[in-house]
Structure 1
Amino acid sequence: MNLYSTNNKELRVSFREAVFNSLPADKGLYMPTEIPSLSADFIDKLDQFSLQEIAFEVAKTLIGDSIPASDLRQLVDEAINFEAPVVSFDERTAVLELFHGPSLAFKDFGARFMSRIMAYLSTTTEKEQLLDVLVATSGDTGGAVALGFLGVTGTRVTILYPKGKVSPIQEQQLTRNGQNIRAIEIDGTFDDCQALVKEAFNDSELNRQFRLTSANSINIARLIPQTFYYFNAYAQMKRKRITDIVFAVPSGNFGNIGAGLLAFKMGLPVRQFLAATNVNDTVPRFLTSGSYEPRPSVATLSNAMDVGNPSNWVRIMDLFEANRDLLKEKVTAYAYTDEETRKAIDELYNSHQYLACPHTAIAYLAGKAYKNEQEGNYMTVFLSTAHPCKFPDVFPTDLRKAIDIPQQVKDLESKPAQKDLLGTDFEAFKQWLLER
């Protein structure tokens, strides 16, 4: 597998280099030089395969000979050791539950796969020096990375998160695991956290001192495994003889829907993708007006989507050759307020006895809006990206009592928090890294 930069299509790097460098020097994002198509026979027989079998075939098709097939199969089976069920509400609506991994969020797919890929690709010599993983999180990325890398030999993870803008359980997952996981609370926004990480990757002194890499969705090893659950959801629907599908995707940094669009480009039949955002609506505004105007992020109930300038958008534009009209044929975008989000949470529980996190509720609203606009017998599958227990303050008392708290969350409550507090100044962050 070879990749280029979205800022320079003449650049060529190996899969290994893209995984460890995360960002090209020109500050673009890595993309495959070719997007291979899965065989028509495989797509036709998707319903005959398990999630793990699908994941291996998709990964092998994308990664090619960068990792021997037998080793890749072992890595996939170890990383993707939980399920992602589709739960149907009625003949036209279903939810894809992506919160059954260890951190209770969809980002477990990317973080667990990437941590094992990195450990595998590290040479014996490199393992003598720690692999320093820098992560900016608006919510669930950090927890998934913390648990994905926890105890992985030869790695050290530093997670930056915005002060007061992650839920209590999310913060526990960032700060209470210890071992090789470090947390920094940044007095700013997610965009500030992301800017600090990006500047660190482009700092020559830090790169001389450390083996830096990223575990954010900008890393190609995070994007690849997120395609797995789209293929698997289609397989589950196909077992019910449903093949006309719309995916409604909670969208903040746009890695999740970017993976879905990559799956589509590889041959997955999808009627439409719905990009569901909160009031941080840079992409919905762009698709309406044609003017891409990032704004500072605004704090909302769906905090993991509080992104004013989504990094992965350049990948999506690259997939569609920067052609907005072509993109609009496959992507429809919607934006919702906190008030609308709360009403959707109530509606899902009252109508279906289903407890949904705020991100999931926004995806549900997008699916509902699209059905009101577009006739047809298609199935709308909205993605549930996190367990509702991670957002207790969002729910009224009666719904909060109905939340089933998983054991791994209870175990964290007794552990002490370990974190440092910094501002948004890069030099202070750089000094923190150098002193440690």
Structure 2
Amino acid sequence: MKFISTRNNSSAVSFFEAMRRGLAPDGGLYMPEQIPVISEGFWSSISDKSFPEIAFEMAKPYLEDELTENTLRDVVEEAFNFPVRMKSLGNRHHVLELFHGPTLAFKDFGARFMARLFSENAQKKSEEVTILVATSGDTGGAVAHGFYKVPGVRVCLLYPKGKVSPLQEKQMTTLGENITALEVDGVFDDCQRLVKKAFLDKELNEKIQLSSANSINIARLLPQSFYYAFAVAELMNRGVLSELPVFSVPSGNFGNLTGGVLAGLMGLPIKHFLAATNANDVVPYYLKSGDFKPKDSVQTISNAMDVGNPSNFSRMKFLFKGSESMMRCKISGYSYSDEETRQTIMDVFEEKGGYLLCPHTAIGYRAAIEYQSENNTDNHLITLATAHPVKFRDVIEPVIDKKIELPSRLNSTLKNEKKTLSIDKRYESFKEQLMQINAC
């Protein structure tokens, strides 16, 4: 299978080449030339399959030209060696807990899958790659841990100073070795701008082989489609899949929602998606008005979603063939304030036996409640839980007036020494720092 740019001005490339480049030469994002449709027989039998088995079948059409079936099976089994759980909260509402991986965030799926693909590719070519990552929260920790000590790979993480939680910061800044963290005096959009500009810098790319582990990378996007199928399989196992499910997706850069749309186009039965955001409501505004207006991001308590110009919107347009009406038919947009987010955390905690939602998951859950009320639907609603509540103790504890116990494996992380380099948001500062890192 070949991969093309969403801007259609670059040559088609292989999966590994698209993964290595991250961003296409014309500035677009890579997408498969054709979306593979998996047989109905597979979808009807997924209740009998484990998560790695589902992942293998969904990944195979994209990677069959790159890896043998045995190697691909090894990749998915190593990448997804942690549990995925779905919690039912009554009234046809479910929470798909995607935070049981090493860094307690859904980003572990994409980061671990990608790291193993880079490792396989490195065995084929004796090249060193520098991976650039802009993060507004959990991506940094997941990528840092996923790529830690991977041979032939350097990782450079950019995050906005003072705008990630203390635990998120520690998870990405304490490892050292092949992981470098850059603390940028700006917001997430500044970090993302620096990364994009680096990919388009001809002089820089002649000296350093760059790639990305953000959701702009096709290798990060692909595994974000797998757990939608697992959720449907869970409903089938419980004997409650009488109607097609609706997925509510907490959304920042919109890679997660794009992964769900991709799964649906591959044949997974899904009725509808909810694009749930905080005050950074560029996509919900588009879905209501038809006008896409990127803007400066606003800082909120759901910081991983503080994105004012979501990169994956171009992929959404690509998948819907540029049709606003087709997108609106499949996706509804919702946005909520910090006050509404806190209220949802409290309501669920009090009404659902002390169950805790992180600030991002709370936004998704509130959207699901609102959608069900508006549409009087009998469909099951599945909210993607993107991070463990403990990662946002500073937000949640004042809301519920209780301490959240920290898992023992995170205690040592908080005690580790922070290792960062500080830069301003000028591209020249970033480029100079990047050259110094790669000169070491």
TM bracket (short chain): over 0.9
Counterpart in the other structure of 1:155: 153
Q: Deviations over 1:132-175 (max 9, x none)?
A: 11100000111110010012111111100001100000000111
1:12 counterpart SS class: coil
Cα separation, 1, equivalents of 2:125 and 2:260: 36
Query: Per-residue displacement from partner, 1:262-299 (whole Å, max 9, x unpaired)?
Result: 00000011111000000100001111111111110000
Residue aligned with 1:126, SS: coil
- Structure 1 length as normaliser, TM-score? 0.97
CA distance in 1, matches of 2:412, 2:234: 33
Match of 2:200 in 1: 202
1:238-277 paired onto structure 2 within 5 Å: 238-243=236-241, 244-277=244-277
Cα gap change, 1:255 to 1:125, in 2 (>3 Å): closer
CA contact (8 A) 2:98 2:106 kept: yes
Q: Tell me the distance in 1 between the aligned counterparts of 2:62 and 2:230.
A: 16
Where does residue 429 of structure 1 map in the other structure?
Answer: 430
Among candidates 174, 177, 180, match of residue 176 of structure 1: 174
The Cα shift of 1:177 comes to 1.5
Match of 2:356, SS state, is coil
Counterpart secondary structure, 2:377: coil
Percent identity reads 49
Change (3 A) 1:413 1:92: same
User: Residue in 1 aligned with 2:74?
Assistant: 74
Distance 2:342 2:292 in 1: 28
Q: Deviations over 1:22-69 (max 9, x none)?
A: 111100110100111111011001101011110111111332322111
SS in structure 1 opposite 2:16? helix
Q: Point out the more displaced range, 199-208 or 350-359.
A: 199-208
The question of whether the paired residues in 2 share the 8 Å contact of 1:52 and 1:80 is answered with: yes
Q: CA deviation at 1:208?
A: 1.6
Check 1:95–1:223 CA distance in 2 against 1; reply closer, same or farther (3 A cut).
Answer: same
- Contact kept? 1:35, 1:62, Cα under 8 Å: no
Once structures 1 and 2 are overlaid, which stretch shifts more, 338-347 or 90-99?
Answer: 90-99
Partner of 2:131: 133
| Residues 397, 301 of structure 1: alpha-carbon distance in 2 compared, 3 angstrom cutoff | closer
Identify which range, 238-247 or 210-219, moves more after superposition: 238-247
CA contact (8 A) 2:10 2:25 kept: no
After TM superposition, the structure 1 = structure 2 runs for residues 355-394 of structure 1, keeping only pairs within 5 Å, are 355-394=356-395
What whole-Å deviation, never above 9, does each CA across 1:107-142 have from its counterpart, x for those lacking one?
Answer: 000000001101101245424xx2111100000111
Rounded to whole Å, the distance in 2 between the matches of 1:203 and 1:10 is 16
Give ranges in structure 1 of 5+ residues lacking alignment: none
Distance 2:308 2:389 in 1: 24
Residues 74-110 of structure 1, C-alpha deviations (whole Å, 9 max, x = no match): 0110011112111101141110000000011000000
Partner of 2:222: 224
2:397–2:403 contact (8 Å) kept in structure 1 = no
Distance 1:169 1:401 in 2: 18
The one-letter code matched in structure 1 to 2:181 is A
CA distance in 2: counterparts of 1:237 and 1:125, whole angstroms: 43
The letter for the 1-side match of 2:266 is M
Describe the superposition over 1:355-401 as per-residue Cα deviations: whole angstroms up to 9, x where unpaired: 11100000001000100111232111111100111111112347464
Match of 2:141 among 121, 139, 143: 143
**Alpha-carbon shift at residue 10 of structure 1 (Å):** 6.8
CA RMSD of aligned residues (A): 1.3
- Judged with a 3 Å threshold, the aligned counterparts in structure 2 of structure 1 residues 200 and 125 are, in CA distance, closer, same or farther, namely same
Matches of 1:9 and 1:162, distance apart in 2:
32
- Please state if 1:52 is matched with 2:62: no
Q: Tell me, which stretches of 5 or more residues in structure 2 are unaligned?
A: none
TM-score (norm 2): 0.96
Task: Describe the SS at the equivalent of 1:65.
Answer: coil
